Amino acid sequence: MLDPKDRIVEENANGEESDGEHFTDEQHAYIRSMVEKLMEKRILVVYGDEDGNGSEVSYDDDGRKKQCKAVCCSFVFALTKRDVERGVARWNPKRPYFIARDEDGYCPHLDRKTLLCTIWDDRPERCRNYDCRSDGAVWEDWEKRILKKGVFDHLPEAKKDNGSGGDDVEGKDRS
Ligand code: SF4
């Protein structure tokens, strides 16, 4: 999955990846702004790369949601073509076809009171396959119920609190 915000890769003449180390900061900024413009004009779109054969993850969180506050539903990911064609999950019109996010940084399909998904039966493939138990961006230790330090730091509210601005709509990738 390409996320133009996260990584720009250069290839050398042999087709080997070098991790963009030859671009200056200004060049990176320019490329990113071009990618953003192309996405906004729908000249470039990004789909999630799930093949539709992933197994659905299901487990009892045993009350952990009170701790994690469904933070995974604030992470960024691209919808698959099948998700887009189903037409249920909302996507970000400025970054097709990444999942939409509300001003609070969360997915518009999350019920903020119950922390449950309101489109559960039609949730995107990434949401079906995702397993936070093994996501080090969420849990430092699932068994011991220790959340990763700073797990909420990307959310606008936290950014306001720590003085780093509250209107950034980027976010963590849900991988
Ligand atoms: S679609 Fe549902 S499960 Fe997926 S991020 Fe949104 S609220 Fe969470």
175 Cα: distance to centroid of ligand 1 (angstroms): 14
Amino acid 41: pLDDT: 94
pLDDT tops 50 at residue 120: yes
If asked whether residues 70 and 152 sit together in one domain, one would say yes
Note whether residue 173 is domain-resident. no
Domain membership flag for residue 127: yes
156 CB near ligand 1 (under 6 Å): no
My answer on whether 100 and 152 are in the same domain is yes
Instruction: With respect to residue 34, please indicate whether it lies within any of the assigned structural domains.
Output: yes
20 and 90 together in one domain: no
Q: Which atom of ligand 1 is nearest to the CA of 119?
A: 2
User: What is the arithmetic mean of pLDDT over 86-114?
Assistant: 97
Within 10 angstroms of residue 79's Cβ, the number of other Cβ atoms is 27
Q: Tell whether 33 and 74 lie within a shared domain.
A: no
Give the position, in ligand 1's atom list, of the atom nearest the Cα of 174: 5
Q: Are residues 91 and 129 in the same domain?
A: yes
pLDDT of residue 159: 79
Indicate if 36 and 77 belong to the same structural domain: no
Choose among 57, 94, 97: nearest CA to 81.
97
Asked if residue 76 and residue 14 are part of one domain, the reply reads no
Rounded-to-integer distance, Cα 102 and Cα 169, Å: 9
- Judge whether 87 lies within some domain: yes
Segments forming the whole domain that contains residue 97:
65-161
**Ligand 1 centroid vs 154 CA: distance in angstroms?**
17
The C-alpha torsion from 123 through 128 and 130 to 131, rounded to 10°, is 120
Q: Looking at the structure, do residues 88 and 20 belong to the same domain, yes or no?
A: no
Rounded to the nearest angstrom, the distance between the alpha carbon of 15 and the centre of ligand 1 is 37
Q: Are residues 34 and 70 in the same domain?
A: no
pLDDT in tens, 132-175: 999 999 999 999 999 999 999 999 988 777 766 544 444 666 65
Overall average pLDDT of the 41-55 stretch: 91
The residue whose CA is least distant from atom 7 of ligand 1 is 110
Q: Predicted confidence band at 5 (pLDDT cuts at 50, 70, 90)? A: very low
Are the CB atoms for 112 and 98 separated by under 8 Å?
A: no
Q: Residue 115 domain-assigned?
A: yes
Structural domains counted in the chain: 2
Q: Would 4 be classed as within a structural domain? A: no
Local confidence band at 45 (pLDDT 50, 70, 90 cut-offs): very high
Mapping DSSP to helix (H, G, I), strand (E, B) and coil, where does residue 62 land?
A: coil
Q: Is there a domain that residue 51 lies in? A: no
Q: What is the band of 68 on the pLDDT scale with cuts at 50, 70, 90?
A: very high
Q: Which residue has the CA at smallest separation from atom 5 of ligand 1?
A: 73
Instruction: Please tell me if the CB atom of residue 89 comes closer than 6 angstroms to any atom of ligand 1.
Output: yes
Say yes or no: 35 and 70 in one domain: no
CA of 167 to the centre of ligand 1 (A): 21
Looking at the structure, do residues 26 and 88 belong to the same domain, yes or no? no
Q: Residue 145 to residues 71, 97, 112, 139, 163: CA-CA distances in angstroms?
A: 15, 33, 22, 7, 28
Confirm whether 46 is domain-assigned: no
Domain identity same for 145 and 100: yes
